[in-house]
Amino acid sequence: MVRDLARLPKAHLHVHLEGAMRPSTLADLAAAAGVAVPTVRGYASFSEFGLQYRAASALITTEDDLRRVVREVVDDAADDGALWVEPHFYPPRYVGQLGSSDEVLQIAIDEGQRAAAARGIGCGIMVSALREFDPAEAVELAKLAARYAGTGVVSFGLAADEALYPPEPFAEAFAVARDAGLISAPHAGELAGPASVYGALDALGAQRICHGIRAIEDPALVDRLATDEIVLDVCPTSNVMLAVVPSFDEHPLVRLLDAGVRCTLNGDDPLLFGPGLLGEYELARTTLGLSDERLAQLARWSLAGSGAPAELVTDGVARIEEWLTAAP
Ligand SMILES: [Zn+2]
């Protein structure tokens, strides 16, 4: 007998809204648009992956489409045992078509909270800037996110190709977000090495880092992450699929944990990579050899590092202890 990982309380922190769309929903949206279902596998590079992501996103054209995707992402998290989900969302993608940036964000917040309440869990939005655009746009996005701090937005992120666009120009945007009480959670240490992680810490005040795994290349940086209790929101399958690491066997998750770095497990873009939140926990057990004690620790860190209300975290951590002490 083994413990059921679906029953392990956890949070899903590193999940991009459109990248977590169900394949069946993608097919429905393509059929409604009268177009072929976009390819969402077999990318040869990060830029090709980005094109596939945008092709899938482009099929979301109505408020109902957006609400459906938000609702299903929350439902899928709940099915995987999440008590909290924090979808990453870039509102400008829908501005014009679905209203102003405030109106677009309000749709995501409203549907996320509605769907989460229906499942007895919580949902907070991460407004995520894209680094290929002008840092001035990120400042505006941070101001938008700040207006909803405490009422639906909990964190501020930065995604897209970090190898081409380092973090430092986005310092002002992250200062605005942090001043509003939002968690700073940029991507770093995935497509770029330790310098990007230092930049995320020093310029953006990162409290959580999406990926961050290439910190392993710099022992002093690993020590700093451990000492400062920075959380790395790790996505092993994404790292293998995008050739950030050559194989699961060579994934640095266990070495980061051994060094005392707080890590969480996440799906990133399940539409493009395959496994969702639960799938990543199962892979971490079967492929990376993580014990139930260690998986429970990752789950604890995911709740503690999230934007969830304190009572949800306290309750979730107590339920993790129950999961761990119950006989498998
Ligand atoms: Zn990501």
Q: How far is the CA of 33 from the centre of ligand 1 (A)?
A: 27
Residue 301 structure tokens: 């860190």
pLDDT band at 328; cut points 50, 70, 90: confident
Lowest mean pLDDT among 36-45, 61-70, 173-182: 36-45
C-alpha span between 22 and 27 (Å, rounded): 9
Q: How far is the CA of 277 from the centre of ligand 1 (A)?
A: 13
Q: Which CATH architecture has domain 10-320?
A: Alpha-Beta Barrel (3.20)
Is the model's pLDDT at 272 over the cut of 80? yes
- Average of per-residue pLDDT values in the chain: 96
Q: How far is the CA of 200 from the centre of ligand 1 (A)?
A: 14
pLDDT for 41: 83
Q: How would you label 35-52 residue by residue, b for 16+ Cβ within 10 Å and e otherwise?
A: eeebebeebeebeebbeb
Q: How far is the CA of 52 from the centre of ligand 1 (A)?
A: 14
How far does Cα 22 stand from its chain's mean position?
A: 16
CB 86 within 8 A of CB 80: no
pLDDT for 83: 98
pLDDT for 45: 86
* Cα dihedral: 312, 327, 258, 314 (round 10): 10
Q: How far is the CA of 51 from the centre of ligand 1 (A)?
A: 15
Q: How far is the CA of 210 from the centre of ligand 1 (A)?
A: 6
pLDDT band at 44; cut points 50, 70, 90: confident
Q: How far is the CA of 316 from the centre of ligand 1 (A)?
A: 24
pLDDT for 238: 96
User: pLDDT tens digits for 174-221?
Assistant: 999 999 999 999 999 999 999 999 999 999 999 999 999 999 999 999
Residue 187 structure tokens: 């991507």
pLDDT for 299: 98
pLDDT band at 40; cut points 50, 70, 90: confident
CB 11 within 8 A of CB 123: no
Q: Which residues are identified as catalytic? A: 190
Q: Give the residue extent of every domain in the chain.
A: 10-320
pLDDT for 327: 76
